[in-house]
Structure 1
Amino acid sequence: MVKGRGRVKGLFVHPVKGLSAQPLDRVALRPGKGIANDRMFAFARPEGRYRPGTREGLPKQEFFALVSDHRLAGLDTHLDAETEVLTARVAGHDVLKADLNTAQGRDEAVRFFTRVLDLPAGVMPLLAREPGRRFTDAAAAGDGPMDWISLVNLASVRDLESRTGAVVDPLRFRANVLVDGLPAWFESDAIGQEFGLGGVRVRAVRRTKRCVATEVDPETGRRDLPVVTMLDRTYGHRFMGIYLEVRTAGVVEKDSEFVI
């Protein structure tokens, strides 16, 4: 593999599966653990396999998310990790402020998202939270994968843009880490390799296969760009980014080095 040094250009946490990314300036990581509070909540399909107390990883199809519910991207949401107050805004105006620590707040959130998702009468999502578990896409592969963190190489995104003539917002890929300054597609040969990510060591464990959730514009909530088809036609695969397993404890900051 080509050696090089890049920089962390973005750090993100997604506290509620399918809702807004929240930027971070720094994050403390521990071996085998993901970013604190990432995908700690989700809205589960009432007819699906999730029930309170579920301890197994479930595929994303069991939850309301951008892969099937693009209107979620039209909300600007924020979850305060300390108070667990979930706020949603539309066009700069607050439309929800719910304390998920309380039964009343959870009920308010469920009723609000029932309306947003335009569910039939009598059908309501289940607000899912299981202490010590994350509702990541990789969770269906087991408890270890549940705590992987996701990385996207901005050079690879630019390469896709240059080959297709499309403008591709990297936020479509909902990664935890964005890096730049490295060769496009270095990640294609990275699986099994260890890297330096700021103050921690990480190991690349799996390429990230993309789904139609990437077709949704993160700003407008419109399904407007066939990203999966673009990848398939351009490269003969549907991958963008990699999953990383944290190997050592330490801190990663925005503009930290990423060393391959």
Structure 2
Amino acid sequence: MRIETIYRYPVKGLTAEAMEEVTLTPGETLPHDRRFALAQGDSPFDAAAPAWLPKRNFACLMVNARLALAHSAFDGRTGELAIRTPGAPPFLGDTRSPEGRAAIAAHLAAFMGEEARGTPRFVEAPGHSFSDVAKKVVSIIGLSSLHALEQATGTTLDPLRFRANVYVSGGSPWAEFDWIGREILLGQARLRIVKRIVRCPATEVNPATGERDAEPPRWLRQHFGHADLGVYAEVIAGGRIAAGDALQLHDDDAP
């Protein structure tokens, strides 16, 4: 199997950013992945004492399909976040200052309209990941599994619906489910597969249009008896990964 594409998602719920290569660090996510989030006004998230909270506490595609139309780009060197939303001029905010974070929150809240609860806050907490799970993980999808779902339903599904970090080709459908508890070599890094990814209504949203035009969770249950696609992995030994690199099980030589 081989890596086809790599993505990070600096702001929970916002745009995927493609990467040709990245260096993984033990116990960490991809650099800047899910680093920021828009906490809804009624969210108890405390940046001074960060703790994992369910995604409904934040702006997310599961609830806020409109976010798919907010195109963002994060510059990790300057801390600047660029956002483009339909009908509005380009916006540039500074994630490193209170004033900049407040401006980003106000811009996104205005775009969300009635879906913004109270006064949302643009938040980060050093060392904290706004992942859908409490562990710091890298998400991996086998494209063979996605193609099996497409064939079963007669549809074409943009892989970005599933917001994974790493998409790999080769292998048989659902092979990644057999890796739970095992270690893999991914490029120069070593990871342990810890959990299957249960799919939620966020995958119903077309990333190009913001419309709910598909039902992957229902289709997975209907055709395969589960609602899972992809796996979460923890980085055990760091190293560089890049498009074209191999993925193989660490405890044998299986391709």
TM-score, reference length from structure 2? 0.93
Residue type of the alignment partner of 1:207: R
Match of 2:73 in 1: 78
Residue type of the alignment partner of 1:220: T
Residue type of the alignment partner of 1:228: P
The verdict on how the C-alpha distance between 1:230 and 1:117 changes in structure 2, with shifts beyond 3 A counting, is: same
Over the residues paired in the alignment, what is the CA RMSD in angstroms? 1.7
After alignment, is 233-242 or 90-99 more displaced? 90-99
**1:10-49 map, 5 Å:** 10-49=5-44
Match of 2:158 in 1: 169
Give the match's secondary structure for 2:194: strand
State whether residues 20 and 242 of structure 2, in contact with CA within 8 Å, keep that contact through their aligned partners in structure 1. yes
Alignment of 1:61 with 2:50, yes or no, is no
Match of 2:245 in 1: 256
Alignment of 1:230 with 2:219, yes or no, is yes
Match of 1:148 in 2: 137
Q: Distance in 2 between matches of 1:122 and 1:149?
A: 30
Residue identity over aligned pairs, in percent, reads 35
Residue type of the alignment partner of 1:163: A
**Structure 2: 5+ residue runs without aligned partners?**
250-255
Match of 2:175 in 1: 186
Q: Distance in 2 between matches of 1:75 and 1:130?
A: 23
Residue type of the alignment partner of 1:206: K
The verdict on how the C-alpha distance between 1:231 and 1:51 changes in structure 2, with shifts beyond 3 A counting, is: same
Give deviations 1:80-117, integer Å, cap 9, x for gaps. Answer: 11111111124697531111222332222111111111
State whether residues 88 and 94 of structure 1, in contact with CA within 8 Å, keep that contact through their aligned partners in structure 2. no
After alignment, is 236-245 or 87-96 more displaced? 87-96
**Structure 1: 5+ residue runs without aligned partners?**
1-5, 140-144
TM-score, reference length from structure 1? 0.91
Give the match's secondary structure for 2:90: strand
State whether residues 87 and 94 of structure 1, in contact with CA within 8 Å, keep that contact through their aligned partners in structure 2. no
Q: Distance in 2 between matches of 1:17 and 1:116?
A: 16
